[in-house]
């Protein structure tokens, strides 16, 4: 089996039974804020796009690059389709000209022509990607590979039971806006960033330890930020609070834990895999030197992409859009239909719109309890976002149904809140269509009504086995320190004495002190 790195979460898997192109991403994403790192635009995309199969893990735009898929990927390719609750991924691929689909079922292996076997695990929580994320398992001639990309399953046992995995490819770096966009003192932002960085590294190592693959490839990050306004988000060393460590840094960290099976997959790197070996051929002769000169690479990259960024910025303003009127027309019907999301948000969300000078020109409120969109009336709002009016005009003009998969991931906004993180705020702004909203409401309804009766012992405590957030197995991901339980899968924290969630509103953990050893519970 041969794996060719194509950048970020992308790769091409070649076997005698066929080739699979995974998540090809080249064009900037999220309002021209994210670019692949390192630059992958010089690869022979015409040759890479002549593939037997195409796998797009989910609709996040650093995985689903519509322009690139349209121009460079053969429409003769069969699409390996995850089993998602909505048809959006398949619909958008059909719009691009793809007509051949292998509709998989989650955790069910499929044998394709020539003895190539694949299995896709689809995650379907409203918080997983844009209504879904997935991982791809591949086997040919005794060699097994798991492309986990940036999916976060609660466990990897479905893959492990199919046999020892030889290559495990997974996310290790940040793919979020927290804490960089929050209006916090610099010291607090650094401290929160350091915690986030440590949590994501710990989570990655936990997944690695669960699967125990022969070789580990850190992929699916980090992006790089080439716009001058966002340049500070690049990890160029010296900032312990930066959540975007690069591949080389992770491998240094991994070796520091005493591990020697980490592998680097640059754009153009070729990994030849057998059951007993992994041989790498890199496109550069001095890998360490390349990362030492990372800033120089990014400066040249930014110079090449500056016209692209400026053209994108010029396309965003749509001043003829009546922002309040259009937001009211689109959002109020969804508020009328929302039960769980509206209750979960529990208050008004303020949206400050800035003009070309950066000053706030207008303030709107999405009032979840009242089911209204209106102008801000100088009331107290626990959640506030500030962004350029031009970006909101563009979102409304294009009919964007997922503001998380556009505005929020772009980091082209600032945020403030009173109190804890609220997942329902972001879930709602990910579901600005009736189809998505109805799915999310149904999911939360089922989730809230389900009762997890099983308890497990963690140290001196008995706690429910499944995390109240997204049902991660706390016997594997739970860590207790100073009376606080942390679920390392997503970093959520709970006070054991009260069960109260310290990370977000709307979640409660069942916990009680464990009886002394030898006594019945």
pLDDT range class, residue 454, cuts 50, 70, 90: confident
Looking at residue 419, its pLDDT comes to 86
Instruction: Tell me the pLDDT tens digit for each residue of 138-187.
Output: 999 999 999 999 999 989 999 999 999 999 999 999 999 999 999 999 99
Rounded to the nearest 5 degrees, what angle is found at the Cα of 337, between the Cα atoms of 82 and 404?
50
Domains and CATH numbers, the chain: 2-306 (3.60.15.10), 323-445 (3.30.1050.10), 451-513 (2.102.10.10)
- Cβ atoms of 298 and 224 within 8 Å: the answer is yes
pLDDT range class, residue 450, cuts 50, 70, 90: low
pTM of the model: 0.88
Give the C-alpha separation, 518 to 521, whole Å: 9
Mean pLDDT for the stretch of residues 82-88: 92
- As to burial, measured by CB atoms within 10 angstroms (0-12 exposed, 13-18 middle, 19+ buried), residue 84 is buried
* Both tokens assigned to 239: 């900032």
Q: Which of 510, 425, 407 is nearest to 468 (CA)?
A: 510
416 or 446, which is more confident: 416
Structural element, H or E, at residue 168: strand 167-171
Mean pLDDT for the stretch of residues 101-107: 97
Mean pLDDT for the stretch of residues 259-264: 98
Looking at residue 446, its pLDDT comes to 76
Rounded to the nearest 5 degrees, what angle is found at the Cα of 100, between the Cα atoms of 6 and 143?
50
User: What HEC string does 241-288 produce?
Assistant: CCCCCCHHHHHHHHHHCCCCCECCCCCCCEEEECCCCEEEECCCCCHH
Structural element, H or E, at residue 88: helix 88-95
Sheet with 413-417, edge to edge strand ranges: 372-375, 360-367, 348-354, 383-388, 413-417
- Cβ atoms of 371 and 364 within 8 Å: the answer is no
User: CA quadruple 223, 228, 233, 234: dihedral positive or negative?
Assistant: positive
Looking at residue 448, its pLDDT comes to 66
Looking at residue 453, its pLDDT comes to 67
pLDDT range class, residue 34, cuts 50, 70, 90: very high
End-to-end CA distance of the chain: 52
């Amino acid at each position: 089996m041969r794996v060719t790195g194509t950048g970020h979460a992308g790769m091409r898997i070649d076997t005698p039974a066929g080739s699979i192109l995974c998540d090809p991403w080249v064009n900037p994403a999220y309002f021209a804020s994210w670019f692949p790192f390192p630059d992958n635009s010089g690869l022979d995309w015409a040759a890479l796009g002549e593939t037997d199969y195409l796998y797009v893990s989910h609709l996040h735009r650093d995985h689903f690059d519509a322009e690139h898929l349209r121009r460079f990927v053969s429409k003769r390719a069969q699409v390996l389709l995850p089993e998602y609750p909505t048809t959006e991924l398949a619909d958008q691929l059909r719009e691009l000209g793809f007509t051949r689909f292998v509709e998989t079922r989650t955790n069910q292996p499929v044998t394709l022509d020539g003895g190539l076997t694949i299995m896709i695990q689809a995650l379907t929580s409203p918080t997983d990607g844009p209504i879904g994320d997935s991982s791809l398992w591949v086997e040919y001639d005794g060699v097994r590979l798991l492309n986990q990309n940036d999916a976060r399953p609660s466990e990897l046992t479905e893959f492990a039971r199919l046999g020892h995995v030889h290559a495990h490819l997974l996310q290790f770096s940040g793919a979020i806006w927290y804490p960089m966009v929050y209006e916090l003192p610099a010291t607090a932002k650094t401290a929160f960033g350091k915690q986030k960085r440590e949590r994501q590294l710990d989570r990655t190592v936990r997944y690695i330890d669960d699967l125990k693959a022969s070789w580990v490839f850190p992929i699916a990050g980090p992006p790089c930020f080439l716009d001058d306004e966002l340049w500070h988000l690049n990890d160029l060393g010296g900032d312990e609070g930066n959540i975007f460590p690069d591949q080389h840094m992770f491998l240094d960290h991994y070796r520091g834990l005493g591990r020697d099976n980490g592998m680097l997959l640059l754009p153009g790197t070729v990994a030849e895999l057998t059951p007993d070996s992994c041989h790498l051929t890199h496109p550069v002769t001095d890998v360490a030197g390349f990362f030492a000169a990372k800033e120089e690479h990014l400066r040249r990259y930014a110079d090449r992409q500056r016209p692209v960024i400026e053209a994108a910025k010029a396309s965003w303003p749509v001043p003829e859009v009546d922002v309040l009127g259009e937001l009211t027309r689109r959002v109020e019907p969804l508020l009328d239909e929302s039960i769980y999301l509206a209750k979960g948000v529990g208050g008004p969300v303020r949206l400050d719109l800035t003009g070309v000078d950066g000053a706030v020109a207008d303030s709107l409120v999405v009032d979840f309890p009242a089911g209204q969109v209106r102008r801000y009336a100088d009331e107290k709002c626990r959640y506030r976002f500030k962004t350029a009016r031009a970006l909101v005009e563009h979102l409304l003009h294009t009919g964007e149904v997922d503001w998380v998969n556009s505005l929020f991931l772009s980091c082209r906004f600032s945020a403030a809140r009173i109190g804890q993180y609220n997942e329902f705020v972001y879930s709602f702004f990910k579901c600005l269509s009736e189809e998505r909203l109805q799915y999310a409401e149904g999911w939360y309804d089922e989730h809230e009504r389900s009762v997890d009766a099983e308890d497990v012992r963690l140290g001196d405590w008995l706690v429910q086995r499944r995390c109240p957030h997204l049902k991660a197995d706390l016997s594997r991901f739970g860590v207790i320190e100073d009376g606080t339980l942390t679920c390392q899968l997503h970093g959520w924290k709970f006070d054991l004495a009260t069960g109260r969630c310290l990370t977000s509103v709307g979640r409660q953990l069942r916990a009680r002190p464990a009886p002394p050893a030898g006594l019945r519970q």
